[in-house]
Chain A
Amino acid sequence: MEGTIITKKESINRVSLSQRLKGYTRRPLSAVLLLATLVAATITLGAVFVLLSNIFTRGIPVIFSTPELFAWEFHSSNLSMMPAIITTLIMIVLTLIIAAPVGIASAVYLVEYAKKGNKLVKIIRLTTETLAGIPSIVFGLFGFIVFVNMMSLGYSIIGGAFTLSIMILPIIVRTTEEALIAFPDLYREGSYGLGAGKIRTIFRIVLPGAVPGILAGVILSIGRISGETAALIFTAGSSTGLPDGLTSSARTLSVHLFALVSNPQAPLDMFFDAAYATATVLVFTVVGVNMLSNYIAKKFNVKN
């Protein structure tokens, strides 16, 4: 960590606080620059604080005071988010089943097979980057044209999952690629040296070794899937009930939150209360996802 530079310098050449302050009064520009970075960091932290406190101060009391928010079935009187929670889980599993094999295989090709300067690789890198930059609403429209209309799936969970799997492909490709590149060549050479072929080396040696890195990417994708709205409202729709099957329309938590706030109906406070409770659940999901991903990545680093 580069932050240690300061402490290193201090241990060689100790400067007391008063000496420092004196230095800053003599060099006002340095003081201003230091102050600017401090102010910026404070604003960043302040923004997060306002965001989280706004959500939690309203969301957490609602969650504890209205258990019917987690009732099994949705009614316009209870605004339960349980169907949305279940749909979110289904959506996560389905999207990963579609995207993870393709993304991982794609990364294996890029790292293990492709030769340097390969034209195809350049195009794949470029399109993966392009894909990462496309706004989610454009994915939503694409899914609406292809899965909802042309394949006549209608608003369906499976249509939403297809759309999202294209969206998270770049995340999985990139993280898997990083994990594969970080995997030491020694192991590959050892495997070849023992007479194993390329397939065996990839499946028995390289991929198992890269699992933590791949897993970290998959977990990041879970965060992205549960937070997505714009790509889902026109592909999976926003039906409130528990889904009957993969071809029925259903809403994930984020879409649920969107639908609650966009609803022009009368008892506004009730809708916003439910929206805040949903937002609280979403934020905790993100916190959990990030912690898990960091934990796995850390374990991975220690191993190497």
Chain B
Amino acid sequence: MNVTKNPKIAALKESAVKAMFATAACASILAVFFICLFIFWRGLPAMFEIGVWDFVSGDVWRPTRAIFGILPMIVGSLYVTAGAIVIGVPIGVLTAVFMARFCPAKLYLILKPIVELMAGIPSVVYGLVGVQFLVPLLHQIFPQEASGASVLAASIVLGIMILPTVINVSEAALRAVPNHYYEGALALGATHERAVFFTQLPAAKSGVLASVILGVGRAIGETMAVIWVAGNAPVIPGRILDSARTLTANVALEMGYAEGLHQSSLFATAVVLFVFILIINLCFTMLKRKS
């Protein structure tokens, strides 16, 4: 062991190492900064060339004729995300309540790893099952439709995909509620169910809301699970059985061959997606700060 004798050198060494750790810690700042910078740098010029308003409010997307309107994709993303929330949040929150407050300890030992497994399954695998199982199933149920690939199919796949996020965050929030809320409710004569649903769940509402926001972020940013099941027609969907294209799918589908303004317009699509994500992150941060 070489112990540094000179205290000056030792102090220098300490501060050098500290600077090294601090530099590494700035990596995430740099990463976010450069991601913002480059995505906006490549996307904004195209947006201005097309016209910002024309770009976000145009309802025709025809790159071959240089018509770039991404309103259908914005609406598509919002519909699909809303659908995922409608399906995923009630199931997820109720499952979280079950796991935190109703589930026998032995069942929990099985249930928890299954939810973790769900979180780990790659999105392409969800997409594969969606396109091979769910889409044909929906086509059987609604034979009058041209295909089962629709807003509904994408919403179901995404709703299932966000379940682990909603369940894990909501469950943690429920477990963090002090036990005397529950005990107080029981002492006042409430049943176990009433005590859980009307004292503990309201007390955990900011955590539950956080889980919903995280779910929204996950759903709106998902690409691979929706690309095969949403149908991808760049048209504003009128019904839930219509085909829809999301912002993410728009980028992934055309990036491979796009050139010039078309390629830049895809970066601009990513800018719009990115703005949505930043808004969602901001909501999440504000919610966390409040609690």
Contacts and interface: CB of A to CB of B under 8 A. Distances in A.
Interface of A: 1-7, 23, 27, 29-31, 33-34, 36-41, 43-45, 47-48, 50-51, 54-55, 101-103, 105-106, 108-110, 112-114, 120, 123-124, 126-131, 133-139, 141-142, 144-146, 166, 169-170, 173, 197-199, 223, 226-230, 233-234, 254, 257-258, 261-262, 272, 275-276, 279, 282-283, 286-287, 289-290, 294
Contacts of A197: 10, 14
A88 to B, nearest CB: 11
B255 A275 contact: no
B267 interface: yes
A108 B192 CA distance: 44
A137 B34 CA distance: 15
B277 A290 contact: no
Interface of B: 10, 13-14, 17-18, 20-22, 24-29, 31-35, 38-39, 42, 90-95, 97-105, 108, 111, 113-118, 120-129, 131-133, 160, 163, 167, 175, 179, 182, 191-194, 196-197, 214, 217, 220-224, 228, 248, 251-252, 255-256, 266-267, 270, 273-274, 277-278, 280-281, 284-285
A136 B223 contact: yes
Nearest to A272: B132
B34 A142 contact: yes
Contacts of A45: 111, 114
Contact of B125 (A41, A44, A198, A282): A282
A101 to B, nearest CB: 7
Q: Which 3 A-B pairs have the closest CB atoms?
A: A135-B221, A227-B122, A40-B94
A47 to B, nearest CB: 5
Nearest to B171: A2
Contacts of B267: 141, 145
20 contacts: A40-B90, A47-B160, A47-B163, A105-B24, A109-B21, A109-B24, A113-B18, A113-B22, A124-B26, A135-B220, A142-B34, A197-B10, A197-B14, A223-B120, A229-B122, A230-B223, A279-B125, A286-B117, A290-B116, A294-B113
Contact of B105 (A3, A106, A169): A3
A1 B98 contact: no
Given A106-B28, A120-B25, A290-B113, 5 more contacts: A109-B18, A127-B28, A127-B33, A257-B122, A294-B113
B223 A127 contact: no
A126 B285 contact: yes
Contact of A145 (B38, B105, B194): B38
B115 A44 contact: yes
A226 B266 CA distance: 26
A136 B252 CA distance: 11
Contacts, number: 273
A145 to B, nearest CB: 5
Contacts of A50: 129, 133
A144 B191 CA distance: 57
Given A37-B97, A138-B277, A286-B121, A124 B111 contact: no
A2 B104 CA distance: 10
Given A137-B221, A142-B38, A169-B28, A40 B129 contact: no
Nearest to A149: B42
Contacts of A170: 28
Contacts of A7: 104-105
A233 B256 CA distance: 9
Given A47-B163, A138-B39, A261 B252 contact: no
Given A223-B120, A286-B120, A3 B29 contact: no
Contacts of B28: 106, 124, 127-128, 131, 169-170, 173
A194 B25 CA distance: 29
A40 to B, nearest CB: 3
Which of B21, B92, B266 has the most C-beta atoms of chain A within 10 angstroms of its own C-beta?
B21
Contact of A124 (B25, B100, B175, B182): B25
A54 B129 contact: yes
Contacts of A234: 255-256
A105 B98 contact: no
A233 B254 CA distance: 12
A105 B27 CA distance: 10
